[in-house]
């Protein structure tokens, strides 16, 4: 008999709700967090104005802003490549 107020799913055996697995970080996730923390520290420490030349355009901006933009571009490219790799494996 289920107790009042408890919601049990058909796929979970009785007593399974009390013994859920804890969330653990894997080695890849820990390495990713370390890289993110190091990138944030690097970005915060580089706050000077820099001049960037791209073909014929010249942009003067704070280095932290340019580093943040490049980190975001790298993140988007990584997500797209991972998504595409998963799509090609499925066929």
Are the beta carbons of 61 and 49 closer than 8 angstroms?
yes
pLDDT at 37 over 90: yes
The pLDDT tens digits of the residues spanning 43-68 come to 889 889 999 998 999 999 999 999 88
Which tokens in the block code for residue 26? 């894997």
- For residues 34 and 42, the answer to whether their CB atoms sit within 8 Å is no
Give, as one character, the DSSP assignment of residue 16.
Answer: T
- pLDDT, one tens digit per residue, over 72-81 is 999 899 899 9
Q: Are 38 and 32 in contact (CB under 8 A)?
A: no
**What count of residues does the chain have?**
91
């Amino acid at each position: 008999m289920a107790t009042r107020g408890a919601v049990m799913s058909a796929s979970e055996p009785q007593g399974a709700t009390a013994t859920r697995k804890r969330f653990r970080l894997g080695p890849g996730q820990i390495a990713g967090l370390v890289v993110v923390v190091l990138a944030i520290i690097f970005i915060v420490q580089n706050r000077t104005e820099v001049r960037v030349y791209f073909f014929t355009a010249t942009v003067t901006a704070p280095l932290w802003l340019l580093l943040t933009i490049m980190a975001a571009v790298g993140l988007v490219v990584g997500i797209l490549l991972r998504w595409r790799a998963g799509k090609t494996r499925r066929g």
